[in-house]
Amino acid sequence: MEKRGLERINETLDAEVVTNSTKYPGIIMNMSEQGVHMVTATTKDIVDIALEKMLKLKCSLPSGDDVDLECEVKWFNTKNSPYGVSFSIGMQIVQPPSQYLEFIRTLQ
């Protein structure tokens, strides 16, 4: 496994992974300028998530602004329960927008 280039910041944000027409709400658990770790809410099924897949990640900053991030899946794990399945996903952000980078710098 390759080592991260940037230290992660343990801060949570509401977020949603969007892939084709499927949306997975969840919470970003930690982040850096170039990557995020997100845990999703429980859902009935996981569709269209795979390593190296490009996804859109929508997150709400504390300022109230919404930011869309284009991400590549680097890893993911699923967790089954009697209520469905949730997953934990690590993503690399492709060309992070300036608004997101400014937010990260306020946390460092």
pTM, 2 dp = 0.86
Q: Give the domain extent around 62.
A: 13-97
- Assess if residue 54 is contained within a domain: yes
Number of domains in the chain: 1
Whether residue 1 is predicted with pLDDT greater than 50 in this model: the reply is no
For residues 16 and 24, is the Cβ–Cβ distance under 8 A? yes
**CATH number of the domain that residue 22 is part of:** 2.40.10.220
pLDDT digits (tens, 9 = 90+) for 35-87: 999 999 888 877 778 889 999 999 999 999 999 999 999 999 988 888 888 88
